[in-house]
Chains A and B, each alone.
Chain A
């Protein structure tokens, strides 16, 4: 190219020379330092971003799905079987319903038979008068024997204050499940915190590097054991042990055994987070303490642990969060059937245990049980979310910054 331009410039007229130079300037030039647009790179970047953003979709899905299904639970009406049925056929116009069964009705009540909703206007002996086609449903002929359902409204106040959880009977108080969850978690922490913190102190302050290298993998393996295995352990080892110590007050399924084994389960977790916190305490603090004549134990108790307190607290909170969400141990060892009790030797179902028991098997969609699962799961999600966020806040807010 350059050669052609040079020879061309000698032999041609001035106009031709101008044309050639202009033409040459239009030719592609050598690489510049400008940023080039690369389509492939852009696509790859977009795909990778999508992978990252997928986690946000998951969170949104959790909140939306749990929220919307739980909303159905709190939106009237939830239909409860009244244990009453139509005694004779009705046509679309009749307001008189003959009933058989044990149900009690009152005027103004909202009921459903078949697909149609009705409002009770008068209650008599063995019959009720109703307003047909309530809530924009179509009055239809209904055959004798059709079940009557009554509407029940679950309010947030009832959900959080009532002490009965019997969805089939219209009692929706999450308290019995909640107390069982809290009791098992507290028992677990009563086991895990002292043991976990001691293990962390031993590993970070006392153990020789060789011992440390031997003990840490054992803790890691303990953390990797599936929770259903711990559940087996609770049921077949811990419960008989408790029974042999305390006698017959200990039920076959009880919160204490589930809680203690759960404590063993979260022990490695608490110890690992606490150990990180203890390791982060600068060596100079310990040396200063030794310099003042403190023994190793005095140094640990009055210098190292206080300095790492925020981390230990965070470990405690994370441990509770773990315990609240833990399922299989309580499902196996803590009992089936909600009970409002504060006696740890009694059996009581936790929130997670309840979800597992109800959802195992073929649960029908849009039933009160199905929707109640989501309400419980949403409560569980917010509890753990709050605790996890709190632990992060505690770590950041109360961390003592040295150097």
Chain B
């Protein structure tokens, strides 16, 4: 990594120890006005398009904090100090520290080497750094994956970017997906296994579910785009409950799309679990005078429950990794803020991985690798839970 200025010489002591006001002052002294305006846009307003700078501050920053004295000043007329004051009241010390590092110190990662090589060939790397003629280059060990990576938001500076918004997006989407897919899927499985007589209609349903399981996931994405995002845009954008800043490309739309996608898998898994319940249990229940639903509810479902749960976890782990439908439904490119509810714009872990991988800079590839590890750990723990459950079941039935 390189620096344009020596961080310690700037303030006389390490930047981490500086209070927010000091950091803001540094930012104001060493950054151009146009860049500060961009920072206000990126860090506070979180919009990607250009803003109308002729607006007064109270209009442009409606809903955000700003010094009262500046309320009626036009945004374009603000001085460096005033822009910094706006940044200071909106951002915390840690974020200001990152900004000073990136903007003032010019802290940039210019190259990275894999762990294995840095352990075995440190001299080679040092020689490369010396030969690269980058001014102020400094070698530093950086672990891309640590606790900060999980809790910090997306950033355009690779070294301080994290997966917080993506992780939260994934969790929100999965909750809604499962809330929709599991009741529907288990209901369908009960119908097909306990109620359906082999006639043409039921055979059609059965074949149809097998076919749906083979439909490529991207087709579901297109379906979600046409139905949830566009046709039901009024509902999925949250306009009916007064949410105004979204356009149907929301968490709900994504979750419904994934629910359609995993539904056949949930059904097939639940069917297998229900089929594994011995007939003798049902016959005993009927023999005691129970109705069909009483038999299902009190005998079959409890016996099949662990199996159904296993299947559900497996379909959940399938849904977590799905990327293409989310992109088609409209996962947003760059999201800095946490999702605020089911009707907010979203990104998700696999989408974030895709974007980082698709960028040409090496550092983003490293970030993608770190995010992949997070995703795989999540998946492996889900699968391990499913396998444990399955073993418990097979022990009990034998």
Nearest neighbor of B190 in chain A, beta-carbon distance: A48
Is A374 a contact of B222 with CB atoms below 8 Å?
Answer: yes
**B199-216 contacts to A (CB < 8 Å):** 202, 204-205, 208-212, 214-216
Is B323 a contact of A328 with CB atoms below 8 Å?
Answer: yes
Is A56 a contact of B380 with CB atoms below 8 Å?
Answer: no
- Mostly, the A contact residues are helix
Is B211 a contact of A388 with CB atoms below 8 Å?
Answer: yes
**A180 CB, min distance to chain B CBs, angstroms:** 15
Complex: how many Å from CA A356 to CA B323? 10
**B372 CB, min distance to chain A CBs, angstroms:** 5
Nearest neighbor of B294 in chain A, beta-carbon distance: A41
Q: Which residues of B contact A54 (CB under 8 A)?
A: 184, 188, 263
Known: A58-B212, A236-B365, A327-B324. A44 touches B263 (CB 8 A): no
- Of B320, B368, B380, B383, which is in contact with the most chain A CB atoms at under 10 Å from its CB? B368
**A133 CB, min distance to chain B CBs, angstroms:** 30
Complex: how many Å from CA A362 to CA B317? 28
Q: Which residues of B contact A270 (CB under 8 A)?
A: none
Nearest neighbor of B357 in chain A, beta-carbon distance: A232
Complex: how many Å from CA A359 to CA B264? 25
Contact of B323 among A41, A48, A324, A327 (CB under 8 A): A327
Is B354 a contact of A228 with CB atoms below 8 Å?
Answer: yes
Q: Which residues of A contact B175 (CB under 8 A)?
A: none
**A7 CB, min distance to chain B CBs, angstroms:** 35
User: Interface stretch among B14-22, B152-160, B224-232?
Assistant: B224-232
Asked if B28 CB lies within 8 Å of chain A CBs, one says no
Is B223 a contact of A61 with CB atoms below 8 Å?
Answer: yes
Q: Which residues of A contact B205 (CB under 8 A)?
A: 52-53, 55-56
Is A45 a contact of B195 with CB atoms below 8 Å?
Answer: yes
Known: A225-B321, A365-B230. A40 touches B376 (CB 8 A): no
Binary contact readout A26-51 vs B (1 if CB under 8 angstroms, 0 otherwise) = 00000000000010110011011111
**B346 CB, min distance to chain A CBs, angstroms:** 14
Contact of A59 among B208, B227, B322 (CB under 8 A): B208
Asked if A217 CB lies within 8 Å of chain B CBs, one says yes
Asked if B47 CB lies within 8 Å of chain A CBs, one says no
**A366 CB, min distance to chain B CBs, angstroms:** 10
B side interface size, CB within 8 A: 66
Q: Which residues of A contact B353 (CB under 8 A)?
A: 228-229, 232
Binary contact readout A13-37 vs B (1 if CB under 8 angstroms, 0 otherwise) = 0000000000000000000000000
Is B369 a contact of A232 with CB atoms below 8 Å?
Answer: yes
Is B321 a contact of A226 with CB atoms below 8 Å?
Answer: yes
Binary contact readout B368-381 vs A (1 if CB under 8 angstroms, 0 otherwise) = 11001001100110
Nearest neighbor of B318 in chain A, beta-carbon distance: A224
Contact of B260 among A58, A388, A392 (CB under 8 A): A58
Q: Which residues of A contact B321 (CB under 8 A)?
A: 224-229
Is B263 a contact of A66 with CB atoms below 8 Å?
Answer: no
Asked if B196 CB lies within 8 Å of chain A CBs, one says yes
Asked if B327 CB lies within 8 Å of chain A CBs, one says yes
Is B187 a contact of A47 with CB atoms below 8 Å?
Answer: yes
Binary contact readout A193-230 vs B (1 if CB under 8 angstroms, 0 otherwise) = 00000000000000000000000010011001111110
Is A359 a contact of B221 with CB atoms below 8 Å?
Answer: yes
Complex: how many Å from CA A69 to CA B188? 30
- Of A228, A355, A380, A384, which is in contact with the most chain B CB atoms at under 10 Å from its CB? A228
Nearest neighbor of A360 in chain B, beta-carbon distance: B327
Asked if A332 CB lies within 8 Å of chain B CBs, one says yes
Asked if A65 CB lies within 8 Å of chain B CBs, one says yes
Asked if B291 CB lies within 8 Å of chain A CBs, one says yes
**B116 CB, min distance to chain A CBs, angstroms:** 14
Known: A44-B293, A228-B323, A324-B216. A55 touches B208 (CB 8 A): yes
Can you report 28 A-B residue pairs in the complex whose CB atoms are below 8 A from each other?
A: A41-B291, A41-B293, A49-B191, A49-B195, A52-B191, A56-B208, A59-B208, A62-B219, A66-B219, A69-B226, A221-B383, A226-B323, A228-B353, A229-B321, A229-B372, A324-B216, A325-B215, A328-B354, A332-B357, A332-B358, A355-B222, A359-B222, A359-B330, A362-B249, A362-B330, A373-B225, A374-B222, A380-B218
* Extra pairs beyond A228-B350, A229-B372 (10, CB < 8 Å): A48-B190, A50-B187, A54-B188, A56-B204, A56-B208, A66-B219, A224-B379, A232-B357, A360-B333, A374-B226
